[in-house]
Amino acid sequence: MTTISSLLNSYRAKKRHPKEVVEKLFAQLEKHNPKLNAYLTFNKLAIKEAAKITQFERPLAGIPIAIKDNFCTTGLRTTASAKLLDNFIPPYDATVITRLKQAGAIIIGKTNMDAWAHGSSTETSDYGTTKNPYDYQRVPGGSSGGSAAAVAAGLPPFAMGSETAGSIRLPAAWCGVVGLKPTYGRVSRYGVIAMGSSLDSPGPLTRSVADAALILQVIAGHDRFDATSSTEAVPNYLSPSTIKHKLTIGISDDYFEGVDKRVVEQFWAAMKIFEKLGHTLKKIKLINPKYSISIYTILQRAEVSSNLCRFDGIRFGHPRSAFSQQAKRRMMLGAFALSSGYYDAYYLKAQKARTLILNNFKEEFTKVDLIAAPTTPTPALKIGESENNPMFGEIMDQLVEASSIAGLPGISLPVGLTAGLPVGIQLIGPWFSEKKLVDLSLEFEQETQFSKIKPPHFYEI
């Protein structure tokens, strides 16, 4: 299996060169992307950039990576999958992009997403949905659907996504890959087209845990251009495991309400493995996800309605009439929640409820080290299945919303297939506990070898 380490090793041993890797990747994408629709824009300079590399000391030297199309990339079209921005060419790089480039990574292209990240399926992309590599009749999840699909198909197996609530973890679960959502503030948001300013967290999607850790290592850390980015020290995520004693993993009953029983089955099978590895499961009480849906809907849509005010068609993009219905829907509810007369009952109330969520997690983390739950209530839906529900996204994300609202880190791990479709479980940790999440995930991966599970359409780079 190709990982970042194995690629770097082959480069250093002069067995392979990035140019050849990237060329072959593009050849495959030319064949498969038209159907898969994972990418919106390709970086035409990628092969040239790959060819130039002669040294391989840097942590991601010559590693091809797909970038979700809400990261600003200089000179490379960035649309957030919205027609309104179909001609936007940023004059600057997001900090994440700067760090990836400095680490030697080669940007292959920009991946498809729900337009403006407003969704959990990628169907609301203004450029058509991406297909799920496990079943082309199904969606990959969203909003980082393009990245998840690319990674699942190995095209390449490394990608950047972002999560406001679920946008990394859900598509990771539906596409059977690893999705790591860092603590809010762990990774700079500078240059990421904002959705929910107090929630957005850029993070990697990969096939292996080590790869996610390696990418996080490169992108994590304080950024003076993002006032909400943390100065908390970045540990070495791939140093030997910090798990000296076995962990206690918390599980809350509320997180099984309305969950497909096949998913529940897979979840418990995974929990058995944690027990086999010597860890203990413990019952905890988390606030019911139905409240998270409400809190998240208000906070996110309010911040969305505000963040989309800068799109007035004067300095870039098309006029506001180019907004899709989904974007309008979210902005309307958001503006309502902030409007005079309703602010206290909705926005302020939701921010207060947020404190309850935070306190709940703080309390439960005194009893357990990490929390586990299914990532999603169901496996991947069929294309078109979600259309009639105005709150589809928020409902599908109910199991990840609380941790996002609290700014906690979470990782979704593939645990197996059910009726041929991937199922994911998530581990949630206290703030800045990514190291612990990585350590436990590595154990799990070692034991289950989940990266061996591949979709019918898969390419080993």
Partner 1 sequence: MKYKTILGLETHIELKTEQKMFCGCSANYFGKLPNTNICPVCLGLPGALPVPNAQAIAWTILIAKALNCKINLESYFERKHYFYPDLPKGYQISQYLKPFGYNGYLKIGGKRINIERVHLEEDTGKLVHGQGAHSFESAVDFNRSSVPLVEIVTRPDLEGSNDAVAYLKALQLLVKYLGVSNADMEKGSMRCEPNISLVEKTAWNKNHQLPNYKIEVKNINSFKFVKKAIDFEEKRQALLLDEGKTPKQETRRYLESTGKTEAMRSKENAHDYRYFPEPDIPPFAFTQEYLVQIEKQLEQTELPKERIIRLKEECKLTSEAAQVLTENKELGDKFLELLSSTLEFSPIDIANLLINKKVALNQATEQIMAEIRKLLTKTEIKKGQLEDAVSNVLRAQPKAVADYHLGKGNSLQFLLGQVLRVVGRQVEVGKVIAELKTQLNRS
Partner 2 sequence: MSKFSIAEVNLLAQLIQLELSEKEAKLFAGEMEETVGFIENLLELPTEAVLPTYQTTGIKNRFQEEKLNERNLPPLLALKNAPQKRDNYFLIKGLGYSK
Three-state SS at 294 = helix
Q: Residue 221's Cα: distance from chain center in Å?
A: 18
Cα–Cα dist 307/300, whole Å: 10
DSSP letters along 192-209, please?
Answer: BPPS-TTT-EEEEEESSH
Cα–Cα dist 286/428, whole Å: 12
315 binding partner 1? (CB under 8 A)? yes
Q: Which of 19, 68, 101, 435 is catalytic?
A: 68
421 binding partner 1? (CB under 8 A)? no
Cα–Cα dist 129/121, whole Å: 8
442 binding partner 1? (CB under 8 A)? no
Looking at beta carbons only, is 5 or 306 nearer to partner 2? 306
Burial of 44 (0-12, 13-18, 19+ CB in 10 A): exposed
Looking at beta carbons only, is 10 or 228 nearer to partner 1? 228
**CB-based contacts of 226, cutoff 8 Å, min separation 6:** 95, 188, 189, 190
Return the residue of 15, 57, 91, 236 that touches partner 1, per CB under 8 A.
Answer: 91
Q: Which of 81, 120, 121, 143 is catalytic?
A: 143
Q: Take residue 75 and report the two structure tokens written for it.
A: 């000179």
In angstroms, what is the minimal distance from the CB of 143 to partner 2? 19
Residue 294 contacts which entry, partner 1, partner 2, none (Cβ below 5-8 A, type-dependent): partner 2
Judged by CB under 8 A, the number of residues near partner 1 is 42
Is 143 catalytic? The answer is: yes
In angstroms, what is the minimal distance from the CB of 100 to partner 2? 19
86 binding partner 1? (CB under 8 A)? no
Radius of gyration of the chain (CA): 20
Is 68 catalytic? The answer is: yes
Would you tell me which residues interact with partner 2 (CB under 8 A)?
A: 87-89, 91-92, 184-185, 198, 224-225, 227-228, 230, 287, 290-291, 293-295, 297-298, 305, 309, 312-318, 320-321, 323, 325, 328-329, 331-333, 335-336, 339, 346, 348-356, 358-359, 390-391, 405-407, 431
190 binding partner 1? (CB under 8 A)? yes
Stretch that binds partner 1, among 276-284, 307-315, 353-361, 362-370 (CB under 8 A): 307-315
Burial of 273 (0-12, 13-18, 19+ CB in 10 A): middle
Is 292 catalytic? The answer is: no
Q: Please provide residue 205's backbone torsions phi and psi, each rounded to the nearest 5 degrees.
A: -120, 130
Residue 207 · residue 1 · CB < 8 Å? yes
Q: Left, alpha or beta for 357 (phi > 0: left; psi -120 to 50: alpha)?
A: alpha
45 binding partner 1? (CB under 8 A)? no
Looking at beta carbons only, is 312 or 447 nearer to partner 1? 312
Q: Which of residues 209-228 bind partner 1 (CB under 8 A)?
A: 224-228
Burial of 436 (0-12, 13-18, 19+ CB in 10 A): buried
Looking at beta carbons only, is 231 or 366 nearer to partner 2? 231
Question: At 361, which helix (H) or strand (E)?
Answer: helix 349-364
Question: Catalytic residue numbers?
Answer: 68, 143, 167
Contacting residues toward partner 1, per CB under 8 A: 70-72, 78, 80, 85, 88, 90-92, 94, 189-194, 197-198, 224-228, 302-303, 305-306, 308-312, 314-316, 335, 338-340, 343, 347
